[in-house]
């Protein structure tokens, strides 16, 4: 990435969903930069456009209007196959529902993005083990998701997200299906990954976890209404999850 360029740049982004009866303006005139190495969060009430914004940044959807640059390259006009290729190479996802495949082991779940990316088998094993070590789950690599607690499943999801060394991690309500203890453990995990150099953009509606991010972007009715930057004390030790 060229010096001074943001990792993510959105200019004039609009997203409209059309039905036969009406059109819904989910996002309006979004201008947003995310810097390399930043831990930013998007906060707002349900229905304000948070997940739509994350889907656009994650190349799971396309804007109705506006421009999007990822690492200095325009991506808003890419074809579906080109978006899939860029997404697999540069973007890691952590979902509220974990999205692990139940009949694959922990190791196989983490390895899967590397298979899609055409990484050789010997390199895949090394990368997958290293990713699981980063989230303190290498001792469970032969287990299946059903044998893990919710917090442990989210750790595996985080390992899958970082295994390909993506440019950015997108976390969509990563604590939404967890109790408070495991929620804090997963937030400490994200803080640790950030301390190791990961760029993170997290969507949440829970103010308890606002303190973990360096920057808060407030979204309301599809508009960015405010932004604030904070000093965050970095902790690199990963908290243990229950179960």
List, for residues 112-125, the tens digit of each pLDDT value: 999 988 999 989 99
Contacts of 136 (CB under 8 A, 6+ apart): 155, 238, 240
At the fourth CATH level, which superfamily is domain 37-62+78-229? Answer: P-loop containing nucleotide triphosphate hydrolases (3.40.50.300)
* Mean per-residue pLDDT, 68-74: 95
Mean pLDDT along residues 22-30? 94
Task: With beta carbons less than 8 A apart as the criterion, state whether 107 and 142 touch.
Answer: yes
Of residues 1 and 68, more confidently modeled: 68
Q: What is the mean pLDDT of the chain?
A: 90
**Residue range 48-55: mean pLDDT, rounded:** 94
Q: Which H helix or E strand runs over 168?
A: strand 168-172
| Furthest-apart CA atoms within the chain: distance in Å | 54
235 — pLDDT class (breaks 50, 70, 90): very low
Query: How many residues belong to the chain?
Result: 243
- pLDDT number for residue 4: 58
Q: Please give the model's pTM, rounded to 2 decimal places.
A: 0.86
Provide the residue ranges of all domains of the chain, joining segments of one domain with +.
37-62+78-229
Could you tell me the pLDDT band of residue 2, with boundaries at 50, 70 and 90? very low
- For the chain, what percent of residues have pLDDT higher than 90? 71
Per-residue pLDDT reduced to its tens digit, 134-176: 899 999 999 999 999 999 999 999 999 999 999 999 999 998 8
């Amino acid at each position: 990435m060229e010096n001074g360029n943001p990792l993510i740049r959105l200019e004039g982004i609009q997203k409209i969903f059309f039905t036969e009866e009406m059109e819904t303006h989910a996002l309006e005139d979004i201008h947003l930069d995310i810097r390399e190495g930043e831990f930013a969060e998007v906060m707002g009430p349900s229905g304000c456009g948070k997940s739509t914004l994350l889907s656009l940044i994650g190349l799971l959807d396309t804007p109705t209007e506006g421009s999007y640059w990822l690492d200095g390259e325009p991506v808003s006009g890419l074809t579906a196959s080109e978006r899939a290729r860029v997404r697999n190479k540069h973007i890691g996802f952590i979902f509220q529902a974990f999205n692990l495949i139940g009949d694959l082991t922990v190791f196989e779940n983490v390895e899967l993005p590397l298979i899609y990316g055409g990484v050789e088998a010997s390199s895949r094993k090394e990368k997958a083990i290293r990713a699981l070590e980063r989230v303190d789950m290498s001792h469970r690599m032969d287990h299946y998701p059903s044998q893990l607690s919710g917090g442990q499943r989210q750790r595996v999801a985080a390992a899958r997200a970082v295994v390909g060394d993506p440019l950015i991690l997108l976390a969509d309500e990563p604590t939404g299906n967890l109790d408070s203890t495991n929620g804090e453990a997963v937030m400490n995990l994200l803080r640790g990954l950030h301390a190791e150099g990961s760029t993170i953009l997290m969507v949440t509606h829970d103010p308890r976890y606002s303190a973990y991010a360096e920057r808060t972007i407030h979204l309301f009715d599809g508009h960015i209404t405010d932004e604030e930057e904070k000093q965050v004390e970095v902790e690199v030790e990963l908290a243990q999850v229950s179960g």
